[in-house]
Amino acid sequence: MFDVIIAGCGPTGAMLAAELRLHDVRVLVLEKETEPVSFVRVVGLHVRSIELMAMRGLLDRMLERGRRRPAGGFFAAIDKPAPKDLDSAHAYLLGIPQPVVVHLLEDHAVRLGAEVRRGAAVTGLRQDDDGVTVELADGEQLRSRHLVGCDGGRSTVRKLLGVGFPGEPSRTDTLMGEMEVGVPQAEVAAKVAEVQRTCRTFSLRPFGAGVHRVVVPAAAVGERAEPPTLEDFRERLRAVAGTDFGVHSPRWLSRFGDATRLAERYRVGRVLLAGDAAHIHPPTGGQGLNLGVQDAFNLGWKLAAQIRGWAPESLLDTYQAERRPVAEDVLDNTRAQTELLSTEPGPRAVRRLLTELMDLDEVNRRLIEKITAIDVRYDFGDGPEMLGRRLRDIDVARGPERGRLYDLLHRGRGLLLDRTGRLTAGGWSDRVDHLADPTAALDVPCVLLRPDGHVAWVGDDQRDLDDRLSRWFGRPAR
């Protein structure tokens, strides 16, 4: 019997498997596809996701395979520079192929001891007081204490649970792919500039070696289970731009819509949902993969605590309480961005006004912090402004040497960062590390960090700290 079965080995499922293995949870990941995806789709890791990779010691490997870009121009593709002095030591976008992200996260999970089984499609489930029985397409049945559906927007797990997925269906479809072009770059740039004056959802962006990312409106809403062909791209390019740019040799081709849906519940008994299984939205702003990985980071340590037996009552319920409002906000900002890409007079007028307002640093900063998820603040009750927020990767002392805060979070444990030298993690030291550093770059005496890097307590009183340790990390060990 497994502790957790995860349906889906995309970025969310692989990240969750690794987080669980940090706490010695027995994990099986079931992936219905027999082979990893072969197409190379470049995605962007936003600031918060980059921070999470640093927290688990994965960032250097990601940086080797990606390319840094400025953290600006995300919101509705309004071309504004990144605000100065974003509150992060990793204030950039990392462009990286999605298959590379999945491979690195899956490799990380496997190295930690997760088992991944490909060609294993979940077709049924039933749960009881002791666990979940998962049925596969070949008739095999498996048992686990919990099941997590990370199986995408058409999630089988969500449908089997009967969880509602309300929202709006696609009104428009867009074709997206990466391919080579057969005309000079100067000609491409001139035509793109001309077309974008009336069609903001159209673009041909060079990636080097003659390869371009092509985005062009589809003729109508279609079946996304069937990928478009190169001829579909040629037809739409001729219709929208008057030329097909001589496109050829595609790396990958896809179709996406602007459907926006949010699961009514993230948990039913022993079964949970994460990533696209819980929420879908247009790719405007590039938040989808990031939102799913951040779901996994929030859920992993809580589900592990439940399984290891030290979770406080209702800890697992905070997963939905914290992450569903974040998804609601992402759905709303993608709805707004989609409207701002319209060529209708009203949305164009609003876009011109917002473009002007974004010259104000406060407005530009607010929108970038929203897209990059560094503005997220969970509701931990009354307290200082930093309570519930994530703490940036500050400089700390580790013995005679200096180091970085996130290096202390690689094991997925809590952390008491103590500038007074008077506090202790006491009976929680098997779950919470303690660093006494009077030189830490904090303007408060001490902070307690959860394993996901969010500030769970601020202060200097031991009894107050013990209360907060109990809230997040259960009863102290004897």
Q: Is residue 406 within 8 Å of residue 452, measured between CB atoms?
A: no
Q: Within 208-360, where are the H helices?
A: 230-241, 288-308, 317-340, 345-357
Q: Is residue 425 within 8 Å of residue 472, measured between CB atoms?
A: no
Is the pLDDT at 345 greater than 80, yes or no? yes
Annotation: CATH topology of 395-473: Glutaredoxin (3.40.30)
Return d(Cα 436, Cα 399) in angstroms, integer.
10
> Which strand (E) or helix (H) includes residue 377?
none
Tens digits of residue pLDDT in 463-472: 999 999 999 9
Count other Cβ atoms within 10 Å, centred on residue 118: 13
Is the pLDDT at 287 greater than 70, yes or no? yes
Q: In the chain, which residues fall in CATH 3.50.50.60? A: 2-167+261-372
Is the pLDDT at 421 greater than 70, yes or no? yes
Cβ partners under 8 Å of residue 428, min gap 6: 414, 469, 473, 476, 477
Q: What are the DSSP calls for 51-92, one per residue?
A: HHHHHTT-HHHHHHHSEEE-S-S-GGG---PPPTT-SSTT-S
Query: What is the value of pTM for the model shown?
Result: 0.93
Return d(Cα 266, Cα 256) in angstroms, integer.
24
Give the pLDDT of residue 39. 61
Mean pLDDT, rounded, for 51-79? 94
Q: Is residue 373 within 8 Å of residue 294, measured between CB atoms?
A: yes
Is the pLDDT at 446 greater than 70, yes or no? yes
Specify the pairing of strand 141-149 against strand 271-273.
Answer: parallel
Q: What are the DSSP calls for 244-256, one per residue?
A: -TT-EEEEEEEEE
- Using CB atoms within 10 Å of the CB of residue 476, give its burial: 0 to 12 exposed, 13 to 18 middle, 19+ buried: middle
Q: In the chain, which residues fall in CATH 3.40.30.120? A: 395-473
* E-state strands within 162-244: 167-168, 173-180, 203-208, 211-217
Return d(Cα 274, Cα 303) in angstroms, integer.
12
Helix axes 288-308, 47-55, angle to 10 degrees: 40
Among left, alpha and beta (phi > 0; psi -120 to 50; other), residue 151 is alpha
Q: Assign domain 2-167+261-372 one CATH number from 3.30.1360.30, 3.50.50.60, 3.65.10.10, 2.40.50.180.
A: 3.50.50.60
**Strand, helix or coil at 106?**
helix
* E-state strands within 354-445: 395-398, 401-404, 414-418, 432-436
CA atoms within 13 A on the CB side of 404: 14
Highest mean pLDDT among 67-71, 78-82, 294-298: 294-298
Give the max Cα distance, the chain. 75
Q: Is residue 414 within 8 Å of residue 452, measured between CB atoms?
A: no
Give the pLDDT of residue 132. 98
Q: Is residue 326 within 8 Å of residue 373, measured between CB atoms?
A: yes
Question: For the chain, what percent of residues have pLDDT higher than 90?
Answer: 83
Cα–Cα distances in Å, from 456 out to 31, 415, 467?
Answer: 35, 10, 11
Tokens representing 54 are 């640093």
Is the pLDDT at 27 greater than 80, yes or no? yes
In this structure, CATH architecture of domain 173-257: 2-Layer Sandwich (3.30)
Q: Which residue has the tokens 């690794």?
A: 18
Range from 32-36, 151-155, 428-432, 434-438 carrying the lowest mean pLDDT: 32-36
Give the pLDDT of residue 225. 62
**Strand, helix or coil at 216?**
strand
Identify any residues that bridge with 418 across adjacent strands, giving them in sequence order: 436, 446
Is the pLDDT at 223 greater than 80, yes or no? no
The amino acid that residue 406 corresponds to is Y
Cα–Cα distances in Å, from 360 out to 83, 227, 356, 357?
Answer: 10, 42, 8, 6
Return d(Cα 120, Cα 135) in angstroms, integer.
10
Is the pLDDT at 418 greater than 70, yes or no? yes
Give the pLDDT of residue 226. 75
Is the pLDDT at 62 greater than 80, yes or no? yes
- Determine the number of helices (DSSP H) and then strands (DSSP E) in the chain: 12, 24
Tens digits of residue pLDDT in 126-151: 999 999 999 999 999 999 999 999 99
Q: Is residue 24 within 8 Å of residue 309, measured between CB atoms?
A: no
Is the pLDDT at 243 greater than 90, yes or no? yes
Q: Integer distance in angstroms from the first to the last C-alpha of the chain?
A: 29
Is the pLDDT at 254 greater than 90, yes or no? no
Q: Which residue has the tokens 């696209």?
A: 276
Q: Is residue 27 within 8 Å of residue 109, measured between CB atoms?
A: yes
